[in-house]
Amino acid sequence: LTEAQAKSAGHEVVTSVLGLEHVPRALAARDTRGLIKLIADKGSKKLLGAHIIATEGADSIQTAAMALKMGMTYYDLGAM
């Protein structure tokens, strides 16, 4: 879900945006242009959506897709 879709669905939303200068894959590729945005429900901490704008984003979006499918929280994702 996008942030707007999550809010429209009645979720109290919390978001986190991470610049690629903090992502090892982007550093290894020497291309830190872009970002990762996670959308979660504030109460349950469950991930609701993820957006990745990155040249080398395939690995990260696969991780996010798995986390969403498994109903993980952002704490679960951070522990991976």
| Residue 13 CB neighbour total at 10 angstroms | 19
Per-residue DSSP letter, 74: H
Q: How far is CA 40 from CA 9, 58, 60, in A?
A: 12, 21, 17
Stretches where the chain sits below pLDDT 50 are none
What is the second-level CATH architecture of the domain 3-78? 2-Layer Sandwich (3.30)
How much is the pTM? 0.88
